[in-house]
Amino acid sequence: MTTLPEPGTTAPEFDLPADGDARIKLSDLRGTPVVVYFYPKDDTSGCTKQAIAFTEDAAKYKAAGITVIGISKDSPASHDKFIAKHELGIRLASDETTEVCQVYRVWVEKNMYGRKFMGIQRATFLIDSDGVVRHVWPKVKVAGHSEDVLKTAAETLG
């Protein structure tokens, strides 16, 4: 099995359509730390809880100079509805082709109720201002995750 991009390696570049008819290009964010989190699907239980937790901590991320970006396979229109419905305060990018998910190695075979299918493994990457991966959370558990990312960012980025 292939592994996720590891700490100390350059984060793979992406340029994706995003909410609000925008595009998010990782290299445009150089000079600022970035949290990139991959999640399975807009407006599902765990994904909604995760997005709300990042939104609740948005002021803390902003104070630390950190940009938070969520990436899923959902369309930009789906992201717009998800943001509006839950009043989210984070950016969401769309990887409908799963190309970026595959580069980050989060597009994996899943097994639910005996049925195998391809989907996004929930994972988070802390990327420093130079574009280097500093910490990886594979197979994220939603509860307490945003707080853990903030704590690790403070310890890792200074």
Report the relative pairing of strands 115-120 and 22-25 from DSSP bridges: unpaired
Exactly one of 35, 47, 68, 88 is catalytic; name it: 47
> What is the spatial distance between Cα 150 and Cα 112, in angstroms, rounded to a whole number?
31
Question: 119 and 30 in contact (C-beta within 8 Å)?
Answer: no
> What is the spatial distance between Cα 88 and Cα 41, in angstroms, rounded to a whole number?
15
Quick check: is 47 catalytic? yes
Place of tokens 């407006």: 43
Phi (first) and psi of residue 33, to 5 degrees: -65, 150
Question: 106 and 95 in contact (C-beta within 8 Å)?
Answer: no
Residue positions annotated with a catalytic role: 47
